[in-house]
Amino acid sequence: NSGLSSHYYDRICPEALPTIKRVVEDALAQEQRMGASLLRLHFHDCFVNGCDGSILLDQTPTIDSEKNAAPNANSARGFEVIDKIKDEVDKVCGRPVVSCADILAVAARDSVVALGGPSWKVRLGRRDSTTASQSAANANIPAPSMNLPALIKNFEDQGLDEEDLVVLSGAHTLGFAQCRNFRDRIYNETNIDPAFVSHLQTICPQVGGDSRLAPLDPTPNSFDVKYFSSLASKKGLLSSDQALLDGGETAELVLKYSGDAEEFWEDFAESMIKMGDIKPLTGNRGEIRNDCRKVN
């Protein structure tokens, strides 16, 4: 038990959660992809020294910003939406009582709900870090080139098991990836559908076009099971996605989720809570930032 509680803000600021939801919904009305981007921010926060808002800190002479780490640079997005949420929440609460780390966790949940996915009770009371670590971000955030044993080990290091790996990879039912992250797969791998390869090669040339986008599943704005059914037909976009079919237990889970949205939803919610419990700062550790980009 991490010491977090879903009722944390009930008394100190009852309007906090409705305010976050409203700003998330406004942002998604502008651009649906933002839901995917916000969900990913929470993941990239939690995998680097716990869910402590470290990913939000800008580079300074004393902050080793995670935004410049390879998995985040020119890729992580949604920071302006988090700033907007923080502004509005501090206004409605009258003072800064809601941590940036909690804002990330709630915005991730509200994004999933807004795109047709499951809801869950977000456990709250995380405090914000006063440090960031680019090297830890590089070391701990999984890479799309990883094979199944490496992915399992990466999740295990965070206290997450093979089921968490498969079901949380299901987050790739939302959003997009850049050519540079799937080029190797579409030019060098064989466990991929030939028609799918031809199509992707028109988007992603062998040379150049590094930032061109392809959806991670056929319905990037809808939280459905198409991510899993695509893997079953060798249409996973990332090498790390398709790799889930390489193991007995993980392959079985992929096939189960591909035909059972209820089960996917239930297990996704459970694993998101588990991921959100990774090493939170509580008590007098850390701080409640005034500005999510800066330490106080």
Angle at 127 between CA 102 and CA 133, to 5 degrees: 95
Please indicate if the annotation marks 52 as binding a ligand.
Answer: yes
Do 5 and 125 touch, CB atoms closer than 8 A? Answer: yes
Do 282 and 4 touch, CB atoms closer than 8 A? Answer: yes
Under the binding rule (CB under 5 A), the answer on residue 48 touching Ca ion is yes
User: Segment contacting Ca ion (CB under 5 A): 86-94, 133-141, 169-177, 253-261?
Assistant: 169-177
Under the binding rule (CB under 6 A), the answer on residue 168 touching ligand HEM is yes
Q: Compute the distance between CA of residue 205 and CA of residue 109 in angstroms, rounded to an integer.
A: 35
Do 115 and 108 touch, CB atoms closer than 8 A? Answer: no
Among 19, 37, 54, 99, indicate the residue that binds Ca ion (CB under 5 A).
Answer: 54
User: Segment contacting Ca ion (CB under 5 A): 7-15, 81-89, 213-221, 256-264?
Assistant: 213-221
What mask of x and - would describe binding to ligand HEM in positions 67 to 106, judged by CB under 6 A? --------x-x-----------------------------
Instruction: State the binding partner of 217 from Ca ion, ligand HEM, none, CB within 5 to 8 A by kind.
Output: Ca ion
State how far Cα 120 lies from the chain centre: 16
Min separation Cβ 268 and Ca ion, Å:
12
Under the binding rule (CB under 6 A), the answer on residue 140 touching ligand HEM is no
3 state SS for 13-35: CCCHHHHHHHHHHHHHHHCCHHH
Helical axes 33-46 vs 100-114, angle rounded to 10°: 140
Which CB, 23 or 105, lies closer to Ca ion? 105
Which CB, 132 or 269, lies closer to ligand HEM? 269
Under the binding rule (CB under 5 A), the answer on residue 173 touching Ca ion is yes
Among 16, 36, 103, 192, indicate the residue that binds ligand HEM (CB under 6 A).
Answer: 36
Under the binding rule (CB under 6 A), the answer on residue 212 touching ligand HEM is no
Do 109 and 103 touch, CB atoms closer than 8 A? Answer: no
Please indicate if the annotation marks 142 as binding a ligand.
Answer: yes
Neighbours of 191 (CB within 10 A): 12
| Strand-pair partners of 213 | 178
183 backbone dihedrals φ, ψ, rounded to 5°: -60, -50
Beta strand 213-215 pairing with 176-178: antiparallel
Under the binding rule (CB under 5 A), the answer on residue 52 touching Ca ion is yes
Q: Where are the beta strands (DSSP E) in 166-296?
A: 176-178, 213-215
Write out the residues near ligand HEM by the rule CB under 6 A: 33, 36-37, 39-40, 43, 75, 77, 142-144, 146, 151, 168-169, 171-172, 174-178, 181, 216, 238, 240
Write out the residues near Ca ion by the rule CB under 5 A: 45, 48-49, 52, 54, 173, 217, 219, 222, 224, 226
Please report, in range form, the residues annotated as the binding site for substrate: 142
Please report, in range form, the residues annotated as the binding site for Ca(2+): 45, 48, 50, 52, 54, 66, 173, 217, 219, 224
